[in-house]
Structure 1
Amino acid sequence: MPSKRLAAALLITMLATGTAHAVDATLQLDLTGQGRDFERRSVLYDCSEGEPFDVVYINAAPNFLALVPIVDEPERLVFASVVSASGVRYVAGHWVWWTQGIDASLYDVTLGDDADPVLTCSEFIQTP
């Protein structure tokens, strides 16, 4: 079975989704492996502050990534999952995006281990 790849055009499209910034460079991630399951999903979050926003999740075991737009950052950041006692915790630099069920929180670790999240969100679910 041929290995699956995440093409640069697909990743750039995901990085540019929902932002007004032009993409100036190319980024390519090769997630290869035999029989690898690949999933890309976009989740709309409604948060305690600001406008709702999309987070793109890329799951290709053993790699689990989240592309999260952060207000203080010029472009979406690529978060990688790390060990967590509950839920899924993603880290990029000093930011932590922690999901538990339909809820998610954004933490700034520079504020300390016991700091409250800087943003709390829930999946935006539209029911007819």
Structure 2
Amino acid sequence: MLKQMILQVILAAAFGYGSLAAATDLTIHLKGSQPLSRITLQYQCDEQGVKMGLPAGPFPVEYVNGGGNSLAILPVGKNTLIFANIISGSGARYAANQYIWWDAAGRGTTFSSDSLAGKMQSACHRVAAK
């Protein structure tokens, strides 16, 4: 029960930082007793990332892990997207829609898109929280 409430608060907050005027709540029921973990890190990406919809300055990426799930929550365009972890040879790779957020095990973080407009990629890096 407590795990459900914590995840509900996390996801409600994640959806809320994209737009204060229109927020959406989401509740996900997870079985098991594995504890949830949550961490928010600040990132900044190059100009290509801005063209792809990421904020021009530093932005938060929230990582939520629990119940066998690993999620990354990012602001893209006017939305907040929830990226789900997918198998990767190294690092942590997450996917949402046509986007990939990939922290390549210390070799850098990339944000990429493969759409009808073609493949685009942005180099990103962690920045200190202000």
Q: What is the TM-score normalised by the length of structure 2? A: 0.76
Q: What percent of counterpart residues are identical?
A: 27
- 2:30 match: 31
Q: Please provide the CA RMSD for this pair.
A: 2.3
Q: Per residue, is there more helix in 1 or in 2?
A: 2
- Gap regions ≥5 residues in structure 1: none
Cα distance change on mapping 1:16 and 1:48 into 2, 3 Å: same
Cα distance in structure 2, aligned partners of 1:54 and 1:84: 23
- 1:84 corresponds to which residue? 88
Q: Which residue of 2 aligns with 1:68?
A: 74
- 1:105: which partner in 2? 110
CA contact 2:114–2:120 (8 Å) conserved in 1: no
The yes-or-no answer on 1:57 pairing with 2:63 is yes
Stretches of 4+ aligned residues off by more than 6 angstroms: none
Aligned length, in residue pairs:
118
Amino acid at match of 2:31: T
Give the structure-1-normalised TM-score. Answer: 0.78
Bigger shift: 20-29 or 84-93?
20-29
